[in-house]
Amino acid sequence: MPIRNRIADLHDEVTGWRRDMHKNPELMFETHQTSAFIADKLREFGCDEVVTGIGRTGVVAVIKGKTDSAGKVVGLRADMDALPIKEATGLEYASQTEGVMHACGHDGHSAMLLGAAKYLAETRNFDGALVVIFQPAEEGGGGAREMCEDDMMARWNIQEVYGMHNWPGEPAGNFYIRPGPFFAATDQFDITVEGCGGHAAKPQQTVDPTVAASQMVLSLQSVVSRNADPVQQMVISVTSFETSSKAYNVIPASVHLRGTIRTMSTEMRALAKKRLIEIAENTALVFGAKAHVQYHPGYPVMSNHAQQTKLAADVARVVSGQCDEAPLVMGGEDFAYMLLERPGAYILMGNGDTAAVHHPEYNFNDAAIPAGVSFWVELAESRMPAA
């Protein structure tokens, strides 16, 4: 296919961009070097408009087709930020920033969208306008929300929006997608249990918060097993248990619990929050202690729109010959905010037999680049066919 042949010609160049970004990872909204690199490339490609500073450090560019008779506008999004992980790959292009690495493949996502932007800016074989979106702070910062709050969708009249993520453990270049809820809502909580500390040899003179907190940890598991609908997805994990004392013979005055809740529906999300607060406060009372709960809403459920999911799957089959159903993912993805504002879909692309994402030995598989770039090109041209 002409698209595949053209993308093959770009493979080495896109790989070079990807590895350059891999060497220079940046966290959250501090993607200043990455954003500047991407913006410079987009201007070099001849994009009709390149705007920086959307969602603090995001970059948005517009590529107009040969015609605009239909007035169609499609957005394609890639994330740019890295993770606070010390790289252990030993690669010649490994991170040059201590304690920071591209452990989730956002360098690959940005490079592939850049490759598609270069190809489409040269060919412009579509009718409408393509908006390419490079987003900071996907890893916990809600960069997608920030870009939407900067009125990105209305400013560029984006009508549909699409995202992609690599997926280790599946053949490189294969695609996976599902309609409806796909990635989980990701909430967090802090619970401080206050008692009355004292000597461990005289527990009767204390109100032991460790006993109350321990019972809370166990009781919270009953929300999943006894309160949630068994056919719904829910995870409640207490991930930290800290006391105010480190001595062997001291009952602490307080205990701090923290953890995460993952759900796939608004109803289960509300139920989990309600039961967490009830269990924490009432369990503390049983032991004569007090519980203070801080609930931190995170990313909402990321839910694909049915029509756009089918369209994306059809494009994936053109590119790779297959598109299988993806599993539900209890991890979070802030592309959810963009899908709340516009119809669209999020697709997974196999990364081959590599380390898992967020692992210090992970590396994006450059062999997947042609499939990823081809997917973006085919999607743009099929959603906005040339008049």
Please, what is the angle between helix 266-286 and helix 209-222, to 10°? 150
Euclidean distance between CA atoms 139 and 333, whole angstroms: 8
d(C-alpha 163, C-alpha 286), whole Å: 48
What is the pLDDT at residue 253?
97
Q: Kindly report the CATH number that applies to the domain delimited by 185-299.
A: 3.30.70.360
* Mean pLDDT, rounded, for 264-291: 97
Residue 4: the pLDDT is 63
Q: Mean pLDDT for the chain?
A: 96
Share of the chain above pLDDT 70, in %: 99
Q: Quick one: pLDDT at residue 5?
A: 67
What crossing angle do the helices spanning 369-383 and 106-123 adopt, rounded to 10°?
50
Q: Tell me if 248 sits within 8 A of 273, measured CB to CB.
A: no
Q: How far apart are CA 377 and CA 224, in angstroms?
A: 43
Domain parsing of the chain, residue ranges: 2-183+301-383, 185-299
Q: How far apart are CA 73 and CA 62, in angstroms?
A: 10
Averaged pLDDT for residues 268-279: 97
**Interatomic CA distance for residues 239 and 379, integer angstroms:** 41
Model confidence at 1: pLDDT above 50: no
pLDDT band for 387, please (50, 70, 90 cuts): confident
Q: What is the secondary structure of 351-372 as a DSSP string?
A: --S-PPTTSTT----GGGHHHH
pLDDT above 60: residue 382: yes
CA 135 – CA 164 distance, rounded (Å): 12
| Interval 164-221: pLDDT, tens | 999 999 999 999 999 999 999 999 999 999 999 999 999 999 999 999 999 999 999 9
**Residue 55 Cα to chain centre, angstroms:** 16
Residues 222, 228, 233, CA angle at the centre, nearest 5°?
110
14-34 pLDDT per residue, tens:
999 999 999 999 999 999 999
The reported pLDDT for the residue numbered 7 is 84
| Domain covering 2-183+301-383 assigned CATH 3.40.630.10 in the classification | yes
The pTM assigned to this predicted structure is: 0.94
Whole-number percent of the chain with pLDDT over 90: 96
Q: CB-based contacts of 286: which residues, under 8 Å, 6+ apart?
A: 212, 215
Predicted local distance difference test score (pLDDT) of residue 103: 98
pLDDT-derived band at 3 (thresholds 50, 70, 90) equals low
List the one residue out of 308, 316, 376 whose CA is nearest residue 342: 308
Top pLDDT among 1 and 341 is at 341
Give the model confidence (pLDDT) of 65-95 as tens digits: 999 888 999 999 999 999 999 999 999 999 9
If you search the block for the tokens 């013979």, which residue do you land on?
Answer: 249
